[in-house]
Structure 1
């Protein structure tokens, strides 16, 4: 950090430069000037972070100098040095946001304290700026991932308030707005002639995505992601109505041709009709996926354009059963509250859309059984312990929901008990290790290495379970053993210190006295 000292009394400036240890308050370079005009010249050559200036100087006074500095270098912090007679006059500096007023004669300590405070504030501001720039760089670097994640959330039915969604679209620079007319292009690649291995497909998906993005860059506003099934999905903004259905069909055919020629892959391309974003998005996407599924396994590539009116089907699914996060994943992560929320969501949808439908109640039952069986087996338990080996007879949705919640409560309680036992076991291991290695230099890192855990986690668990930190436990143990050893007259004080892991007997005596109020020798006497 750079400091500029300005005063018309040259000897004072040189004295301040030479006699004060500026480095200890973060000043790396000190510059000097003996007039306001000269100070501005120095600033032009190398701007200072902090300026200390006297008020009374020939020509340009200190307040005028600060005014000029603030015009050109608004981030430079200025400190004003003034005598008793000029103090009221110096108040004009308030208009120029002077940081400190120092009254002559200024003591070195007072000057250092003021500069230290200012330097700290500047460093804090610089840190904030660096953190902001870093976060902006991270956002920019991860922008494609965040855009894709947002689109995946929307196609899976996770709604956003309109205002919040608009903010996200703007933040991620997505060329689609609420209310825009859009169409979807869903693309599935097939390697029918087995040119590649299965491990090549992710890289090929990336290549296809880049090829299609280049084709769309010329005249199309698009937004894309890879969905959970491995399909590529592109949203095309058709607002204003300049893009016709025929143009999109020609584009899809060109995609199919180019990818086939460059990568020797077959493409299934599904074109949706248009709709208003975001209301139409989930329905259009589900129609595209269903159509792609119907054509899976067809040899050769093709383009399918969906009709404007969806084909009505008589059976629908309970969508919360299949929308991420899935119930088995919530159980596995131990996210019990979200799992309860998922169950409420499942049964709420059944009541609102399919009330009375035994067909959908059976769908819910088998999905829940599957999730619970997965969790029970994953944790090394038996189905018989939970009566999951035989089908249950449940009379209705209310009884099934009660059974599911009860099962969830039981699983959570058993996991909590296991975690508690695991923490207790960990504390026992730590205590045994400390007791065995008391004569050694027992460190938190050594303990963490012994139990194969991170030091921070070890420290938190021990404190939570015992009510004392590892350091407090170690001190208590050493002091208790010190009392025992001091009662045995065979051991000298320095020998007792060594047996407790204290390499410096003097330090042991100090710690002992702080703990008991007497020295080891006084205790022994």
Structure 2
């Protein structure tokens, strides 16, 4: 099962493209634990691959450090049915003569065959984690999922296909599983069996989500994706300008959306979600206040305590002592 989606770099001579299995120090933070890295370097873009295969399914983390506008040409050696989770950045890709938008914090499912059309990447950092499943493994779930039957009919047609009619939002459970898989060590037969079970768990989550989800208007889908991404990334410094650029909307429209749909500004919403998360962790978890501060985006416990007390009129330690009762 050859599961790697390789990316040809259009217009870059081959002698300018280098492949190595060592990450330089400036890329150390991009290392995943589940597999050894492969680094492809060129003047326009550097690409870091991590890939692992287990019993008819696989996972791959592909990270792109784009230094100048470049066309990338996706291609696979074998037909591939894959769930693509856009972890960082947003891109428009050419797929079977149509443009598909992959927004940060969303997933889409594809059947990929051979060489696809080239897509333009602008400077920035992009990360996609994708999971691939053999036809036999997908067929095992046919009786339990209407979506699998639709997927198999497209796969058996032997043409590239978008398997999901609309993108799905990477909700909290899928986000957590993405993170767990990315940073789990797979270095033995037992761990490979563990990986296989986890990937099938992820497939089941996706199938349930696809079988049960309604199709919201595209504007609602984008805004709900942004809100979910914020909830899943409280440890990151997110700004309204950064989110607007990533999701291809204007800052003024995004600010208006928070006021219209949430009844508060972006910064008020971000603070609300951080404080609610911190309070929930204080009441329901035994981890330290310092760790809670890190999870919700504060550099130290004193910084969290100051904001938390102003918000709830008690400190995190007081919330923990009284169990959250007023």
Q: TM-score, normalised by structure 1?
A: 0.21
Q: Which has the larger radius of gyration?
A: 1
Relative to total residues, which structure has the larger helix share, 1 or 2?
Answer: 1
Give the number of the structure with larger relative contact order, counting CA–CA contacts within 8 Å between residues 6 or more apart.
Answer: 2
